[in-house]
């Protein structure tokens, strides 16, 4: 695992506004890295700094061991794909793809061969003499990708490449692009605000907010173990309940005490206890078998709640439940169709739920960025 791109102490300001604040990051050779965050978080700014399109105010960038910090784009080594495709409208598909190949020491036959190869690679060999406007959005974006990788750059930068496409095409292209990237083994940095896209495509995700990196990690790490409420909230859904740490590994919500990962919080700290909706486990009423010790008693963080609302979302039911004994403990829970059928859940029913102690986590009340 060699570091391909080394970013250190990067700052970028636009007048009074600081867009990037002390960013340090390593991008590993061959990996697919995603910058994820809400709009205005600085992810595109960071990408443009890496490309040299908008040079950083301070800090360094090394690419493949070479200091590229102050180089103009033309002296760096990357290919780029934009949300708008930025295909040259008056050039044919093959002219678009070969744009970067001309005067790069290749003769005509070589150029043609490379273009054919790329068209094959993206699966559009028939379209070579058409103009961009004659192709669909998805096809255009694939052409843009082919153009970007035509010169075999060491780094592929993707700036929200799929955002302009409709949902179906987007999902399809996600898959294709990931595959292509794995095949070419080109180090790739993609900017997106779509968490699903990031989770499904990236090897690692960099979550950004307000110009700083909140968390870097694999999709699973980011999802299952967010370091801040912001990350937790931005990626997937999160139940958030105000709580107070009673002792290490325990919080009180209303009048109910729950086991919880409290981390470094000292007893008495006001925190937010958070849990993903799908982590709420519904239990069969039958766990309480006659003659046996009360199973519920032995299960941690398990109690009864009333179902307030149910919304069918296709693959699961989004359910609002309320703990009538502990004030303020209203949760959203995602129950699978199977569970709902098996437990015959319905609005108004009382059910038993478990909040797994290892999934419940305490976060500071303020968002991570300001820490």
Partner 1 sequence: MSSVESIPGPKIRKKVGTDALIQRGFIVVIALYLIITLAFPLYAMLSKAFEVYNYDLSQFSVQASDEEGNFTTGPVTLLDLNAELGLLGDSDMAAKGDGRLSLTQFFPDFSFRSPVMYRVAGTDEKSVFLVGSERHVGTESVEVDSNTFRKVVVRPVKSRGMSNFTRYFSTPALFRSIGNSVFIATVSTIITVTLAFWFAYALSRSCMKYKGFFRLVAMAPILVPSLLPGIALVYLFGNQGILKGLLMGQSIYGPIGIVIGSVFFTFPHAMLIIGTALSISDARLYEAAVSLRASRWRTFWTVTIPGARYGLISAAFVVFNLVITDFGLPKVIGGQFNVLAVDIYKQVIGQQNFEMGAVVSVVLLLPALLAFAIDRQVQKKQVAGLTARSVVFEPKPDRKADTGWLFYCSLVAVFILGIIGICQMAALIKFWPYDMSLSLNNYAFDRMDGGGWAAYKNSIKLGLLTAFVGTVVVFLGAYMVEKTSDFTKGRSGFQMLAMMPMAIPGMVLGLAYIFFFNNPANPLNFIYGTMAILVVSTVTHFYTVSHLTAVTALKQMDTEFESVASSLKQPFYKLFARVTVPVCMPAILNISIYLFVNAMTTVSAVVFLYSTDTALASIAVLNMDDAGDIAPAAAMGMMIFYTNAAARLLHAVGSRAILKRSEAWRQR
Kindly write out the interface string for residues 210-229 of this chain, putting x where it contacts partner 1 by CB under 8 A and - elsewhere. xx------------------
Q: Does 14 bind partner 1 (CB under 8 A)?
A: no
Are 245 and 337 in contact, with CB atoms under 8 Å apart?
no
| CA separation for the pair 115, 125 (Å, rounded) | 9
Q: Does 9 bind partner 1 (CB under 8 A)?
A: yes
Q: 159 vs 279, which CB is nearer to partner 1?
A: 159
Scanning 10-18, 116-124, 233-241, 316-324 for contacts with partner 1 by CB under 8 A, the matching segment is 10-18
Q: Does 90 bind partner 1 (CB under 8 A)?
A: yes
Q: Which CA distances in Å does 115 have to 99, 111, 134, 277?
A: 10, 6, 19, 48
Contact with partner 1 (CB under 8 A): which of 26, 99, 171, 299? 99
Beta-bridge partner residues of 35: 191, 206
Q: Does 79 bind partner 1 (CB under 8 A)?
A: yes
Question: What's the min distance (Å) between Cβ of 17 and partner 1?
Answer: 7
Question: What's the min distance (Å) between Cβ of 161 and partner 1?
Answer: 12
Q: Does 111 bind partner 1 (CB under 8 A)?
A: no
Which region, left, alpha or beta, applies to residue 98 given φ > 0 means left and ψ of -120 to 50 means alpha? alpha
Q: Does 6 bind partner 1 (CB under 8 A)?
A: no
Residues contacting residue 212 through CB under 8 Å, at least 6 positions apart:
20, 21, 22, 23, 42, 369
Question: What's the min distance (Å) between Cβ of 64 and partner 1?
Answer: 16
Q: 15 vs 314, which CB is nearer to partner 1?
A: 15
The CA-based angle 30-86-21, given to 5 degrees, is 55
Contact with partner 1 (CB under 8 A): which of 6, 30, 64, 151? 151
Joined together, the tokens standing for residue 250 give 């325990």
3-state secondary structure of 368: helix
Scanning 77-85, 217-225, 234-242, 353-361 for contacts with partner 1 by CB under 8 A, the matching segment is 77-85
Q: Total residues contacting partner 1 (rule CB under 8 A)?
A: 52
Q: 90 vs 120, which CB is nearer to partner 1?
A: 90
Are 163 and 126 in contact, with CB atoms under 8 Å apart?
no
CA 279 to chain centre: 19
Q: Which CA distances in Å does 93 have to 204, 237, 278?
A: 32, 42, 46
Contact with partner 1 (CB under 8 A): which of 39, 65, 75, 291? 75
Beta-bridge partner residues of 243: 271
Contact with partner 1 (CB under 8 A): which of 3, 6, 28, 57? 57
| CA separation for the pair 10, 370 (Å, rounded) | 18
| CA separation for the pair 148, 145 (Å, rounded) | 5
Question: What's the min distance (Å) between Cβ of 146 and partner 1?
Answer: 12
Joined together, the tokens standing for residue 261 give 């990962």
Longest dimension (CA), the chain: 86
Q: Does 17 bind partner 1 (CB under 8 A)?
A: yes
User: Is the sign of the CA dihedral 351, 356, 359, 364 positive or negative?
Assistant: positive
Contact with partner 1 (CB under 8 A): which of 28, 53, 216, 295? 53
Question: What's the min distance (Å) between Cβ of 21 and partner 1?
Answer: 7
Q: Does 135 bind partner 1 (CB under 8 A)?
A: no
- Give the interface with partner 1 as residue ranges (CB under 8 A): 9, 11, 13, 16-18, 21-22, 51, 53-60, 69-76, 78-80, 82, 84, 86, 88-91, 99-100, 102-104, 131-134, 147-148, 150-151, 153, 157, 210-211
């Amino acid at each position: 695992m060699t570091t391909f791109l080394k970013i250190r102490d990067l700052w970028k300001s636009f007048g009074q506004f600081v867009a990037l604040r002390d960013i340090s990051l390593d991008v590993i050779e061959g990996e697919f890295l995603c910058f994820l965050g809400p709009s205005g978080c600085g992810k595109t700014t960071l990408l443009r700094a890496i490309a040299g399109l908008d040079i950083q105010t301070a800090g360094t960038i090394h690419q493949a061991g070479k200091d590229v910090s102050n180089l103009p784009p033309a002296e760096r080594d990357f290919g780029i794909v934009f949300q708008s495709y930025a295909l040259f409208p008056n050039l044919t598909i093959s002219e678009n793809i070969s744009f970067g190949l001309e005067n790069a020491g290749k003769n005509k036959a070589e150029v043609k061969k490379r273009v054919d190869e790329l068209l094959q690679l993206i699966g559009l060999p028939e379209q070579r003499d058409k103009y961009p406007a004659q192709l669909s959005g998805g096809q255009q974006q694939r052409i843009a990708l082919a153009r970007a990788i035509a010169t075999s750059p060491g780094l592929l930068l993707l700036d929200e490449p799929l955002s302009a496409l409709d949902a179906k095409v987007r999902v399809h292209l996600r898959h294709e692009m990931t595959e292509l990237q794995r095949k070419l083994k080109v180090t790739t940095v993609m900017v997106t605000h779509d968490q699903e896209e990031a989770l499904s495509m990236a090897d690692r995700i960099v979550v950004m907010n307000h110009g700083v990196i909140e968390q870097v990690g694999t999709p699973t790490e980011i999802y299952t173990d967010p370091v801040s409420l912001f990350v937790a909230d931005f990626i997937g859904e999160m139940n958030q309940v105000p709580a107070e740490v009673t002792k290490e590994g325990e919080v009180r919500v209303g009048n109910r005490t729950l086991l919880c990962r409290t981390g470094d919080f000292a007893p008495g700290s006001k925190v937010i206890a958070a849990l993903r909706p799908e982590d709420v486990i519904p239990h069969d009423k039958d766990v309480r078998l006659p003659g046996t010790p009360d199973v519920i008693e032995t299960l941690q963080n398990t109690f009864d709640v009333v179902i307030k609302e149910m919304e069918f979302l296709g693959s699961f039911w989004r359910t609002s439940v309320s703990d009538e004994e502990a004030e303020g403990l209203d949760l959203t829970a995602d129950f699978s169709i199977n569970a709902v059928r098996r437990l015959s859940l319905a609005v108004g029913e009382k059910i038993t739920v478990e909040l797994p102690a290892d999934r419940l986590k305490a976060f500071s009340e303020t968002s991570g960025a300001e820490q």
